[in-house]
């Protein structure tokens, strides 16, 4: 995944770039600039480049964990 594909949302509800890595079946997401994230968005842009795939080679759809 590239840094532009996944974002963490801090309490102020502003988007910041985040880092991510895969460990087993888990995607770990973090940012040194956000202590307590309240949401994560992946591929949440007008024309996203989504490059996260499962073992079958199928891409992950854009998603968000917030409802606002």
- Number of compact structural domains in the chain: 1
pLDDT digits (tens, 9 = 90+) for 27-62: 999 999 888 888 899 998 889 888 999 889 999 999
Q: Is 7 exposed, middle or buried, given 0-12, 13-18 or 19+ CB atoms closer than 10 A? A: buried
Task: Give the C-alpha separation, 35 to 13, whole Å.
Answer: 13
Domain range for residue 43? 3-64
The predicted structure's pLDDT at residue 63: 93
């Amino acid at each position: 995944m590239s840094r532009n594909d996944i974002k963490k949302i801090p309490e102020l509800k502003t988007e910041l770039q985040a880092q991510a890595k895969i460990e087993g079946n888990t995607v770990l997401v973090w940012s040194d600039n956000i202590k307590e994230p309240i949401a994560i968005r992946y591929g949440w842009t007008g024309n996203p480049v989504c490059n996260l795939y499962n073992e079958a080679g199928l891409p992950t759809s854009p998603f968000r964990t917030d409802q606002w």
